[in-house]
């Protein structure tokens, strides 16, 4: 089995895209190719991470479309990989297997999602297709409503308060404001969204106890990474980043099937598997991108992944440990909350952001003392198919 490294990254602006899905994906892909400097080398495969093109964009065979637009036929082969909102990390995993096996040398993994072709109600309906077909969906369950119930239980059991949820949003908006590619570059304050006289107007309920600013936006965007065998990294321009560990695990699809619905078992197990493969521990991690589709998730994931004890994530947050400059910066890019959440793409964008951090190229939101180890959690469904990744600067 060969080790696999990331030799190039690229990303579009996140937000309401002016361009078609394929044009966005071409932009991110070309950026990754130029970033790596591949010269005359051929790309053996393109794996696309996407969740909704056949429903929201009326496009099937999206990966073949990308190969066509990038003029990579006939040599380059392709597939689309879907694992709900964890599609991005899953597509990278498939790229890793293809390179590790020796079947491919260069694999381009491109995530892309263009949500604006449907309205926000339709987008929420589409995402609710992730819920259990008989146990959840017919009762009108949506992902925000599941997250609301989960949050209430967590608040009651562990003493998490509304202000802690707001702190996640404030931190991530502050970070995202410094990230030129983020969707919501709007600094927000505790007074504005929670304690001030206009708070309820500014920040209405979505699924109580979750408010507007506890939920990530519906975004368009595309990101890409170029994978190569570790033995080839010297042929490329930039500092390589090793995929030191990848772990994945599953959980029941219906949340009501879980013995304790406040446990995110698949997150814990995916992280343990990723750390075991990397032969590292949570203490070794210098920067993390967690899947904060809802503010509560950043807190709980920071516990399940072993960075803080169960029930203490919100205390570490309150102490400022997860800010840029803190002990373990979480979501310096702005996270899903501010950078945005083009669902099928998100896992790729998390890895792109970590690579920029490990290379010291994150600019205004660079974590101090150029980090060596990065960590990401990409969360599918309501935690029923989760992928964790450990990255290491150098090979």
Radius of gyration of the chain (CA): 19
Judged by CB under 8 A, the residue of 11, 63, 151, 175 near its own copies is: 63
Compute the least distance from the CB of residue 93 to its own copies, in Å. 8
Interface stretch with its own copies, choices 125-133, 205-213, 332-340, 356-364 (CB under 8 A): 125-133
Q: What is the dihedral of CA 318, 274, 387, 25, to 10 degrees?
A: 100
- Round to whole Å and give the CA distance between 357 and 373: 9
CA atoms of 307 and 156, how far apart (whole Å):
22
Among 68, 191, 231, 318, binds its own copies (CB under 8 A): 68
**Binding test (CB under 8 A) with its own copies, winner from 385, 388, 390, 393:** 385
Q: Which of 18, 58, 234, 260 binds its own copies (CB under 8 A)?
A: 58
Q: Which is nearer to its own copies, 31 or 113 (CB)?
A: 113
Q: Which residues contact 347 (CB under 8 A, 6 or more apart)?
A: 49, 85, 86, 87, 88, 89, 90, 91, 92, 111, 376, 378, 387
Strand segments, DSSP code E, in 252-351 are 287-289
Q: Which is nearer to its own copies, 47 or 213 (CB)?
A: 47
Q: How far apart, in whole angstroms, are the C-alpha atoms of residue 392 and residue 326? A: 20
Q: How far apart are CA 350 and CA 359, in angstroms?
A: 14
Which of 31, 82, 301, 303 is close enough to bind its own copies by CB under 8 A? 82
Which tokens go with 235? 């042929």
What part of residues 324-363 is at the interface with its own copies (CB under 8 A)? none
Among positions 15, 65, 88, 217, the unique one binding its own copies when judged by CB under 8 A? 65
Enter the DSSP assignment of 394.
Answer: B
Residue 310 makes contact with its own copies by CB under 8 A? no
Least distance to its own copies from the beta carbon of 198, Å?
37
Choices 80-88, 211-219, 333-341, 362-370 (CB under 8 A): range interacting with its own copies: 80-88
The three-state secondary structure class of 199 is helix
Task: Kindly list the residues in this chain that would bind its own copies in the complex (CB under 8 A).
Answer: 1, 20, 22, 51-52, 54-55, 58-65, 67-68, 72-84, 87, 90, 93-94, 96-98, 100-103, 126-127, 129-130, 132-133, 137, 248-254, 257, 265-266, 269, 380-381, 384-385
């Amino acid at each position: 089995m060969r080790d696999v490294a990331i030799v190039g990254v690229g990303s579009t602006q996140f937000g309401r895209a002016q361009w078609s899905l394929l044009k966005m994906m071409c932009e991110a892909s070309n950026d990754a190719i130029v970033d790596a400097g591949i010269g005359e080398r051929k790309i053996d495969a393109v794996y696309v991470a996407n969740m909704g093109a056949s429903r929201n964009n009326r496009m099937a065979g999206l990966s073949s479309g990308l190969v066509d637009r990038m003029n990579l036929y006939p040599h380059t082969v392709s597939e689309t990989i879907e694992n709900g909102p964890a599609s991005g990390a899953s597509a990278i995993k498939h790229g890793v297997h293809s390179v590790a096996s020796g079947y491919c040398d260069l694999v381009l993994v491109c995530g892309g999602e263009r949500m604006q072709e449907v309205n926000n109600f339709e987008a929420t309906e589409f995402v609710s297709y992730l819920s259990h077909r008989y146990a959840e969906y017919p009762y009108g369950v949506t992902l925000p409503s599941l997250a609301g119930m989960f949050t209430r239980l967590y608040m009651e059991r562990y003493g998490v308060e509304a202000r802690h949820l707001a702190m996640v949003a404030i931190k991530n908006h502050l970070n995202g404001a410094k990230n030129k590619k983020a969707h919501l570059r709007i600094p927000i304050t505790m007074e504005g969204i929670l304690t001030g006289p206009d708070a309820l107007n500014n920040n209405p309920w979505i699924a109580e106890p979750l408010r507007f600013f506890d939920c990530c936006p519906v975004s368009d965007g595309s990101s890409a990474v170029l994978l190569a065998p570790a033995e080839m990294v010297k042929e490329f321009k930039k500092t390589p980043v090793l995929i030191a560990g990848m772990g994945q695990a599953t959980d029941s699809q219906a949340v009501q099937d879980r013995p304790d619905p406040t446990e995110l078992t698949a997150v814990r197990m995916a992280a343990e598997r990723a750390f075991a493969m990397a032969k590292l521990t949570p203490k070794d991690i210098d920067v993390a991108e967690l899947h904060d589709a809802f503010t509560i998730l950043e807190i709980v994931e920071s516990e399940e992944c072993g960075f803080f004890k169960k029930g203490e994530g919100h205390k570490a947050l309150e102490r400022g440990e997860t800010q840029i400059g803190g002990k373990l910066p979480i979501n310096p890019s702005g996270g899903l909350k501010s950078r945005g959440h083009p669902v099928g793409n998100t896992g790729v964008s998390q890895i792109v952001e970590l690579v920029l951090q490990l290379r010291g190229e994150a600019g205004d939101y660079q974590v101090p003392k150029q980090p060596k180890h990065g960590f990401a959690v990409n969360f599918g469904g309501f935690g029923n198919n989760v992928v964790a990744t450990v990255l290491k600067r150098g090979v």
